[in-house]
């Protein structure tokens, strides 16, 4: 039998042990509950928190890519359009040159015809230059004169200007004049040679007349801002592109 003095002490110790066990059990339960619920809940909350940002970033990137592609396509299309209209303007100027010959021949009673001289397309006046030198001079000078007058009208007429087609017209007129006063001045059917033969002007004088007009037009173009970067098409990067490109697999 336990004494009356020892019983209260045993009960007190038992109560302390039970209290300690209870505290330990509660702590373990809380830890287990935290272990079971926290990772999944944190993962779910993290997913919910980050998912909208990821979607938004993806949408923004896709939108930026679409805009970039659209802009690149628009610039590429503008560049092709520029080159096409520039070429059309140049060809139109050449056709105006030939039309000037035909109209002049008809106006003086000639019979213009089309043929080839050393594989080069040529308009023949149908006029005997030895019998009618003045008529032949009018025919021979008409082409360059029409182009010079056309360029002069473009540069003098008050308008916005600066389009690719207009640049092609100006380039055609200036280029043709420069060709005839250099490489083309001594050809068998050269306009400069025929003008010198059917007038009191020499080849040099004829060249100075038409060459001087062409140089004057070029100088006027140079000082007009609307004709800046005269032959350059819009670049993929949004500015103007000048230079060359070499494609190829140089590592092979």
Query: Is 235 inside a domain boundary?
Result: no
Query: Is 23 inside a domain boundary?
Result: no
- DSSP-assigned beta bridge partners for residue 124: 113
Query: Is 179 inside a domain boundary?
Result: yes
Query: Is 38 inside a domain boundary?
Result: no
Query: Is 168 inside a domain boundary?
Result: yes
Range of the domain at 126: 64-227
Query: Is 80 inside a domain boundary?
Result: yes
Nearest alpha carbon to residue 146 among 185, 179, 177, 116: 177
Rounded to two decimals, the pTM is 0.66
d(CA 51, CA 45): 10
Helical H segments across 108-185, by residue range: 133-156, 164-180
Query: Is 40 inside a domain boundary?
Result: no
d(CA 111, CA 87): 31
User: Which pLDDT score, from 0 to 100, does residue 44 have?
Assistant: 46
User: Which pLDDT score, from 0 to 100, does residue 219 have?
Assistant: 95
The answer to whether residues 234 and 75 touch, using CB atoms and an 8 Å cutoff, is yes
User: Which pLDDT score, from 0 to 100, does residue 2 have?
Assistant: 45
pLDDT 10s per residue in the chain (252 long)?
Answer: 444 555 565 556 556 655 655 655 554 444 444 444 444 444 444 444 445 556 666 767 777 777 787 787 788 888 899 999 999 999 999 999 999 999 999 999 999 999 888 778 899 999 999 999 999 999 999 999 999 999 999 999 988 888 999 999 999 999 999 999 999 888 888 999 999 999 999 999 999 999 999 999 999 999 999 998 888 875 544 444 444 555 555 544
Query: Pairing between strand 120-124 and 113-117?
Result: antiparallel
Query: Is 20 inside a domain boundary?
Result: no
Domain count, the chain: 1
The answer to whether residues 174 and 94 touch, using CB atoms and an 8 Å cutoff, is no
């Amino acid at each position: 039998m336990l004494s009356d003095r020892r019983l209260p002490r045993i009960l007190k110790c038992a109560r302390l042990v039970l209290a300690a066990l209870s505290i330990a059990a509660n702590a373990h339960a809380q830890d287990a509950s935290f272990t079971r619920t926290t990772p999944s809940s944190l993962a779910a909350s993290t997913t919910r928190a980050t998912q909208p940002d990821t979607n938004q970033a993806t949408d923004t990137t896709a939108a930026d890519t679409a805009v970039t592609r659209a802009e690149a396509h628009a610039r590429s299309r503008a560049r092709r359009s520029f080159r096409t209209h520039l070429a059309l303007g140049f060809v139109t100027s050449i056709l105006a040159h030939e039309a000037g010959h035909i109209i002049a021949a008809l106006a003086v009673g000639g019979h213009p015809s089309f043929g080839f001289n050393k594989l080069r397309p040529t308009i023949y006046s149908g006029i005997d230059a030895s019998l009618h030198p003045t008529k032949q001079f009018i025919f021979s000078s008409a082409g360059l004169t029409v182009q010079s007058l056309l360029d002069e009208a473009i540069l003098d007429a008050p308008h916005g200007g600066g389009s690719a087609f207009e640049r092609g017209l100006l380039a055609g007129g200036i280029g043709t004049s420069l060709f005839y006063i250099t490489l083309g001045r001594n050809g068998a059917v050269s306009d400069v040679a025929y003008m010198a033969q059917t007038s009191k002007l020499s080849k040099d004088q004829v060249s100075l007349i038409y060459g001087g007009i062409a140089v004057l037009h070029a100088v006027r173009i140079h000082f007009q801002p609307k004709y800046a970067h005269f032959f350059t098409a819009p670049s993929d990067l949004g500015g103007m592109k000048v230079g060359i490109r070499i494609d190829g697999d140089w590592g092979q």
